[in-house]
């Protein structure tokens, strides 16, 4: 019987650092890269056999009567962690979104370069993921694309505290409000997907914002330098899924 991680264990899976080279370790490159994730551990089998995997190329789009996402964030970013795969910003309790009438609390946000999702074949240089969980451990993730442009002041505050070595964490002197990294226009694409890192568990509500944010080329390059290159899983087949647009 295949093992599927759900509930609270799923929240832990998106939080724990797993470094390449150790037992079950994964990476974005080489023999521990995305094409091999499903073979590294039994718990990662969905990376190999899952039919509703993320990220995707957002191109099979149907207009729908989706309600606006209620976003209630307050300044709660407390520490910056380099977990060996990304730069993750941990968040205090009290900030949340409401999706399908369900409250999902913001747990953390993190980054990928280049973007994991594509939009009609276009890949952005950077993407942020805001990870939320309801009281039962079900996940909802907001994805935001970033284009190259002006220096982003919120990213700059985080980058000034960026730990440059895996396993390091730095406490922020002043709390940051994650809402400052969201676009003002809140139209979005929605589909059912998975975690984009092992164990690739499915049943994740994905909300990808239509409007992109921007950051400077230097900010993007600093992240890529610290992380040692690309930090994105290739897009996965949509299969029978459609993407709904608000």
- What is the predicted pLDDT for the residue at 246? 87
Q: Is residue 174 situated within a structural domain?
A: yes
Q: Is residue 21 situated within a structural domain?
A: yes
**pLDDT 10s digits, 88-111:** 999 999 999 999 999 999 999 999
Q: Give the C-alpha separation, 230 to 235, whole Å.
A: 14
Report the predicted TM-score, pTM, of the whole model to 2 decimal places. 0.92
Q: Is residue 125 situated within a structural domain?
A: yes
Average pLDDT, the chain: 92
Q: Is the pLDDT of residue 201 over 70?
A: yes
Q: What are phi and psi of 188, to 5 degrees?
A: -155, 165
In the chain, % helix, strand, coil (3-state, to 5) comes to 20, 35, 45
Q: Is residue 1 situated within a structural domain?
A: no
| Beta strand spans in 57-168 (E) | 57-58, 61-63, 70-72, 77-82, 87-91, 96-99, 102-112, 118-119, 122-123, 126-133, 139-148
Kindly list the catalytic residues. 85
Using CA atoms, how far residue 36 sits from 23, 25, 31, 112, 239, in Å, is 14, 11, 7, 19, 21
* Mean pLDDT, residues 160-164 taken together: 95
Range of the domain at 229: 7-245
Q: Is residue 2 situated within a structural domain?
A: no
Find the CATH number of the domain harbouring 179.
3.10.200.10
- The fraction of the chain above a pLDDT of 70, given in percent, is 90
| 18 neighbors 170 (Cβ within 8 angstroms) | no
pLDDT band at 24 (very low <50, low <70, confident <90, very high): low
Q: Is the pLDDT of residue 114 over 60?
A: yes
Q: Is residue 27 situated within a structural domain?
A: yes
Q: How many domains does the chain have?
A: 1
């Amino acid at each position: 019987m295949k093992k599927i991680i759900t509930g609270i264990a799923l929240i832990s899976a998106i939080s724990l650092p797993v470094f390449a080279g150790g037992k079950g370790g994964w990476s974005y490159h080489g023999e521990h890269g995305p094409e091999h994730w499903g073979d590294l551990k039994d718990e990662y089998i969905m990376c190999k056999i899952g039919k509703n995997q993320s990220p995707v190329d957002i191109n099979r789009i149907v207009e729908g009567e989706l309600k606006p996402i209620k976003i209630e964030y307050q300044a709660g970013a407390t520490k910056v962690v380099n977990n060996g795969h990304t730069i993750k910003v941990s968040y205090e309790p009290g900030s949340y979104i409401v999706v399908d009438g369900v409250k999902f609390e913001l747990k953390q946000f993190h980054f990928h370069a280049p973007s994991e999702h594509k939009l009609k074949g276009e890949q952005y240089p950077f993407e942020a993921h805001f990870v939320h969980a309801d009281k039962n451990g079900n996940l909802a993730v907001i994805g935001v694309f970033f284009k190259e442009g002006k220096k982003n002041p919120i990213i700059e505050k985080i980058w000034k505290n960026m730990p440059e070595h895996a396993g390091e964490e730095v406490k922020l002197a002043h709390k940051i409000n994650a809402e400052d990294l969201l676009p003002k226009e809140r139209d979005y694409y929605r589909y059912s997907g998975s975690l984009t890192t092992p164990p690739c568990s499915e049943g994740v509500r994905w909300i990808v914002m239509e409007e992109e944010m921007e950051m400077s080329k230097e900010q993007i390059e600093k992240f890529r330098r610290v992380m040692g290159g690309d930090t994105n899983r290739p897009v996965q087949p949509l299969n029978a899924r459609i993407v709904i647009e608000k």
